[in-house]
Amino acid sequence: MKVRQFAVCDSDSGYLKMLQAYLQKKNPADFEILIFDTVNKALEASRETPFEILLVGEGIYDTNVTKISASKIYILQEDGLKGIAGYSTVAKYQSMEHMIAQVLEEFALDESCGSVERRGKNRTRLISFYSPDRHRGQSVAAFGAAQVLAERGGQVLYLSMLPFTGFEELLHTEYDSDMTDFLYFVLNRSDKLLYKLDSLKRCIHGVDYLPPALDYADLLSINKKDWETVMNLLLYSSDYAYIVVDLSETCQAFYDLLENSDWVYLLTDSTNVYGRAMLSHFNRLLRAKDCDKIFAHTVEFELPANWEKQCESLENLTISPIGICMRGVLGDQ
């Protein structure tokens, strides 16, 4: 596979070291990370292997930048007083997460920029969580399991297909884009999946996740074939060890995901007569649809009593009653 290089050129050595450490830790889109403290060094390196992306500090910019071979060059803007024209700009002093997200978002949307097709290095396992009675603990259980898997050293991507998650309020954040933007983009430009994924994903306690859909109708509009396409791309074109799906009927590939999952974790409540009845209905439906093989990789579990009072945050569920419960449920997974 062709080496794709992400280069940064700036005279501020402290900033360079921080950005290099961040990029190497996050490893966005599987780029090789290069740093340079002069424009001439970057120019010389690009003659040997052209860069995919180059970030150039506004303070170090000179006319030799025009000679550097790179698919896309961004100016790390400090005050904007140098009036550099002809390049995309990105604010230098902001959250590195936001800055890299902006860079990758523009790169993914730029038709003139290169694409990448690859196979994941790991065998990605698909794990689905579902509750027939729409138990409010489904998401916290799925997120808790994802954090436990991440704590064990696996790279984990969490996807919520629930119609309402409340994540913005629970996580004290805001989303400009959500997973439906990712889905629509990838269905049209699968060759730029990694760029779009790394521009949009967020991370909590070692777990990457795509912001849930604001309007569940957008999820309902995606047909079964398109769901299959996107999931296959994620399973075979990323380096995640696990993809944890918080499943609901908003997904037209509902039964296919259950069948194709390595494990299905079914949240139940044996103390609730309505919950037991809905579980029985769900099981009868699977048999009626000849989906019996789902039972072979399904694990039923219950959450500890009064878990809500001790799990008011999704930030670190591994130390909560949910995390302790999910360690037992996952076993050696």
Domain membership flag for residue 118: no
For residue 13, what are the CA distances in angstroms to 8, 10, 36, 300? 11, 7, 9, 54
Domain membership flag for residue 321: yes
Last-in-domain residue among 109, 140, 167: 109
- Provide the domain count of the chain: 2
100 plus 132 within the same structural domain: no
Number of H helices and E strands in the chain, helices first, is 12, 12
Last-in-domain residue among 109, 137, 172: 109
Tokens of residue 216, six digits: 């569940």
134 plus 218 within the same structural domain: yes
CB neighbour burial string for 71-97, b if at least 16 within 10 angstroms, e if fewer: bbbbbbbeeeeeeeeebeebebeeeee
Domain membership flag for residue 268: yes
| Cβ contact 268:301 at 8 Å | yes
Give the C-alpha separation, 147 to 158, whole Å.
9
142 plus 231 within the same structural domain: yes
109-163 pLDDT, tens per residue?
A: 887 776 655 555 567 999 999 999 877 799 999 999 999 999 999 899 999 999 9
Give the C-alpha separation, 122 to 23, whole Å.
21
What pTM was estimated for this model as a whole?
Answer: 0.79
Per-residue pLDDT of the chain (333 residues; tens, 9 = 90+): 467 899 999 999 999 999 999 888 888 877 899 999 999 999 999 999 999 999 999 999 999 999 999 999 999 998 876 778 889 999 998 888 889 988 988 888 887 776 655 555 567 999 999 999 877 799 999 999 999 999 999 899 999 999 999 999 988 899 988 999 999 988 988 888 888 888 899 999 999 999 999 999 999 999 999 999 999 889 887 779 999 999 999 999 999 999 999 999 999 988 889 889 999 999 999 999 999 899 999 999 999 888 887 777 788 888 888 999 999 999 877
Phi, psi for residue 27 in degrees, rounded to 5? 50, 55
Tokens of residue 328, six digits: 């037992």
Would residue 299 be called left, alpha or beta, if left means φ above 0 and alpha means ψ between -120 and 50 degrees? Answer: beta
Tell me the residue range of the domain where 87 lies. Answer: 5-109
| Cβ contact 103:53 at 8 Å | yes
101 plus 129 within the same structural domain: no
